[in-house]
Amino acid sequence: MASTDGEEADGERRVVSDAVGVVVLGACATWSLVTAAVHGGRPEGVLLAVLAVTAGYAAGRVFGVLLPVAAPCAAALAGLCLTLALPRLVPGPDTVTPLGHAGATAAVLTLSAGAACCAAWATPVPVLRLALRLLAGGMAVAGATLGSATAMVTCGAVLLCSLAAGRMPHRGRGLAGLALAAATVTGLTWATAGGALPGGLASSLAEQLTPRRIGLWRDALDLARHHAGLGVGPGRFGELSPTAAQATLSDGKPHSAPLQMAAEQGVVGVLLLAAAFCWMLFALWRAARPTPIVLSAGAALTGLAAVAAVGNALSFTTVSVGAGLLAGLATARPLSVEPAPGAVPLPSARTALRSSDDRPAV
């Protein structure tokens, strides 16, 4: 009876989080169409990103049920192979980025490190767990090899957070800390664009970010101030940005997801972007998986949010699919019972896991 009640509770949790996801992603797609209709923008990029996240999330949920260890392991290896085969993942013009390539390469490696950490916590075999953690560390080495210090830092942070997650019984506090970290990076980006930082810190960041990137951010902030309601329309930043117009080669983006949404879709666009990130954390909070798996995935998604705040990571379908896939893998409920980290598998392991974390009761 207790097992049946637990399964029903988990089912209700999944229904609620999935319903929230449908509403948030649907609102993102609808608002892009609204702003495009008003200003004659091009909503295809936003619609493709929403579709990619949805497809990745659905695939992650399916493979996470059937192959809770093999699926995230395969995803991590695929991400590593992709970045090694196509180091920049960018067919268009390159833009100098802070601390390396704060774009698709860093994002894919960060998500791959998170997938490897999730697989490590999902397996009960100590040798395989160690190998998967070494694979996650290898993502940082790959980032350094490719010249992306951003990837090296974010992958290392994901691995450290995953190791620390084994000693954290309450996932809510960990996820709240991750949300705060993402908000801090976004706020720092916004303050840099608005010139609100102290002189010493502003000068230090300007050297790493380059004047052109800061100019793009300032243009985006100016457009957001003058078009706070509906923005200038999806895909129109490059047409209206003086800094982008002066560049010989430009991809027409401000290289900051929050600032791009603010400029092109107004305040509502920024709120919807934040809501999409919060929905993923909410789905992880209510997931039936062990807390270390949840926090490992959350750390990787937070790393992606930080990279997207200072780069153009979300402009690539590969990254959007990877984010949805990782979230789906971490929220899927495997057919077999998962033991607590470091514990001997027991029939009641799932019940013990439920009583040790802080997910809401249904």
pLDDT at 39 over 50: yes
Q: Say how far apart CA 154 and CA 233 lie, in whole Å.
A: 32
Prediction pTM value: 0.88
Q: Residues 283-297: pLDDT tens digits? A: 999 998 999 999 999
What pLDDT digit, counting tens, does each position of 122-180 carry? 999 999 999 999 999 999 999 888 888 889 999 999 999 999 998 888 899 999 999 99
**What's the pLDDT score for residue 173?**
93
Q: Any idea how long the chain is? A: 362
Report the percent of the chain where pLDDT is more than 90: 57
* Two structure tokens written together for 198: 């102290």
Amino acid at 289: R
Q: Higher confidence at residue 3 or residue 354? A: 3
Both tokens of 330, joined, read 């971490």
pLDDT of residue 95: 41
What type of residue sits at position 308?
A
Buried b or exposed e, range 21-41, using 16+ CB within 10 angstroms: beebbebbbebbeebbeebeb
What's the confidence (pLDDT) of residue 202?
Answer: 72
Closest CA to 121 of 169, 166, 74: 166
pLDDT tens sequence across 303-314: 999 999 998 889
Quote the tokens at residue 318.
């590969």
Q: Which residue has the higher pLDDT, 259 or 10?
A: 259
Tell me which residue of 345, 192, 181, 304 sits closest to 259, measured CA to CA: 192
To which H or E segment does residue 284 belong?
helix 257-285
* Confidence band of 349 (pLDDT split at 50, 70, 90): very low
Phi, psi of 124 (to 5 degrees): -90, 0
Distance separating alpha carbons of residues 292 and 160, to the nearest angstrom: 12
Name the band, by pLDDT with cuts 50, 70 and 90, for residue 208: confident
Q: Report CA 236 to chain centroid distance, whole Å.
A: 24
How many Cα atoms sit within 13 Å of 332 on the Cβ side?
28
* Residue 154 to residue 331: CA distance in whole angstroms: 22
Taking only the tens place, the pLDDT of each residue in 63-74 is 999 999 999 999
For 129-197, the DSSP string reads: HHHHHHHHHHHHHHHHHTT-HHHHHHHHHHHHHHHHHTT---HHHHHHHHHHHHHHHHHHHHHHHHT-S
Q: Find out whether 45 and 311 touch, Cβ atoms under 8 Å.
A: no
Is the Cβ–Cβ distance between 263 and 234 less than 8 Å? no
197: left (phi over 0), alpha (psi -120 to 50) or beta: beta
The rounded distance, in Å, linking the Cα atoms of 325 and 269 is 23
* Three-state SS at 69: coil
